[in-house]
Chain A
Amino acid sequence: MDATNIWLAIAVMASVTYAIRMLPLVILKREITEPHVRAFLHYVPYATLTAMTIPAAILDAPTLLAGLVGVSVAVLLALWRVSLVLVAAIASLAVWLVEVLL
């Protein structure tokens, strides 16, 4: 079975995601104390988001230059702690400018 049946794919994604959110709330009465498990859960989002962004963000952009500029702008703004929405908007604008002007 593959994910070409989009209705089925949506159902699978929704059920899995809901289960992940619901189970700890319903089951867990004590805090997780095992240091390795805690650390793993702590590092997972950063590893995942990085693997999703590199190299896809650069390669999915219209040109390699536009992709590099977009990601660089995003990183610089994020270093200055600009808000999430503004980082997304300005990075997109930078990609568009490189695309239109160059």
Chain B
Amino acid sequence: MNRTFLRQLITFFQGMYAGIPIGLGYFAVSFAFGIQARAAGLSAFQAFLLSGTNLTSAGQFAGLAVIQSAGALATLALTQVVINLRYCLMSCALSQKLDPQTPFFHRFLMACGVTDEIFGVSISVRGRLSPYYLYGQTVVAWPGWAFGTLSGALAGNILPDSVTAALGMALYGMFVAIVVPAAKQDRKILLVVLAAALLSLIFYYTPVLSTISAGTRIILVTFLTAGTAAFLFPMNPTKEASHGRN
């Protein structure tokens, strides 16, 4: 064993350790996703495959809504682009934290593990980010998400209806836990959140607008509110781009 290999191995194990709470949290939330995937008509294996290849809560959840409403594949793709656009920002930030010499295969492989939580842990390390630190987190977090989904999809049927229905709140609870602390800390985010909530309600309850599908409504509300906010409050590069919990 040479020194470089040993250092990479230690970094990998440190990443695994940091990934334990992430994996446990993922298991709980993706259990609820598994139940909902079954309700949307997916088989347990399809739910497992969806979670294993996507590794994203909000995107998968919105995808289910599009699948359930038999939306167009283009709508499905656009929904994923808009909802997962934040990963683009995170990957941009991570790319700045890598050693510029990092080979391409690491960059391709790392991309699989860019989630809100892994990004949050990875971006907070001192100095340069080693791909092995991210791999360590990913190998612990991924099984939590994928097998949590599988368990939910398989066990969802044996749970009482009241429990299944209540677990549906878990994903929304997670979204609230991401949005609220950020809105509390930053008034501009608070304005975006209030505007998005109001606009979403208007879309949902206004006669003609209410015929728009859930996926399209989410995209429209996002572009209108985030677009207006970007126009009103541009961000200078010196300002820290990360708020609240990631």
Which residues 65-99 in B have Cβ within 8 Å of A in the complex?
Answer: 66-67, 70-77, 80-92, 94-96, 98
Within B33-77, which residues are at the interface with A (CB < 8 Å)? 41-42, 46, 49-50, 53-56, 58-63, 66-67, 70-77
Complex interface bits, B177-189 against A, C-beta within 8 A gives 1, otherwise 0: 1111111100011
Interface string of A82-102 (1 = CB under 8 A from B): 111101111111111001100
Known: A71-B172, A91-B176, A96-B166. A51 touches B50 (CB 8 A): no
Q: Does B230 contact A (CB under 8 A)?
A: yes
Among B49, B80, B168, B184, the residue within 8 A (CB) of A16 is: B80
Which residues of A, 2-37, contact B by the 8 Å Cβ criterion? 2-4, 6-10, 12-14, 16-18, 20-26, 28-29, 31-33, 35-37
CB–CB A8/B88 < 8 A:
no
Q: Interface of chain B, helix or strand or loop or mixed?
A: helix
Residue tally, chain B, CB below 8 Å to A: 107
Within 8 A of A (CB), among B161-198: 162-163, 165-184, 188-189, 192-193, 195-197
- Choose the segment among B2-10, B11-19, B149-157, B235-243 that binds chain A (4+ C-beta atoms closer than 8 Å): B235-243
Say yes or no: is A65 at the interface (Cβ < 8 Å to chain B): no
Indicate if the CB atoms of B177 and A74 lie closer than 8 Å. yes
Query: Per a CB cutoff under 8 Å, which of A25, A56, A74, A83 touches B110?
Result: A25
Contact B241 A49, beta carbon cutoff 8 Å: no
Q: Mark B24-39, 1 if CB is under 8 A from A, else 0.
A: 1100110010000000
Most buried by B among A23, A40, A44, A85: A44
Instruction: Write the nearest CB–CB distance from B228 to chain A, whole angstroms.
Output: 9
Chain B 187-246 interface residues, beta-carbon cutoff 8 Å to A = 188-189, 192-193, 195-197, 199-201, 204, 214, 217-218, 221-222, 225-227, 229-231, 233-237, 241, 243, 245
- Shortest Cβ distance from B203 into chain A, in angstroms? 9
Report the count of interface residues on A (CB-CB < 8 A): 79
Bound CA span A36–B199, Å: 22
Counted as pairs of residues, one from A and one from B, with CB atoms less than 8 Å apart, the total is 322
Closest to B217 in A: A51
Closest CB in chain A relative to B65 CB, distance in Å: 8
Interface residues of B, Cβ cutoff 8 Å to A: 24-25, 28-29, 32, 41-42, 46, 49-50, 53-56, 58-63, 66-67, 70-77, 80-92, 94-96, 98, 100, 104, 107-108, 110-112, 114, 162-163, 165-184, 188-189, 192-193, 195-197, 199-201, 204, 214, 217-218, 221-222, 225-227, 229-231, 233-237, 241, 243, 245
What are 25 A-B contacts with C-beta separation under 8 Å? Answer: A1-B72, A2-B73, A3-B66, A9-B73, A12-B80, A13-B54, A21-B88, A21-B114, A24-B91, A26-B111, A31-B237, A35-B237, A36-B230, A50-B179, A53-B176, A55-B200, A56-B172, A57-B176, A71-B172, A81-B181, A84-B174, A85-B29, A95-B165, A95-B166, A99-B165
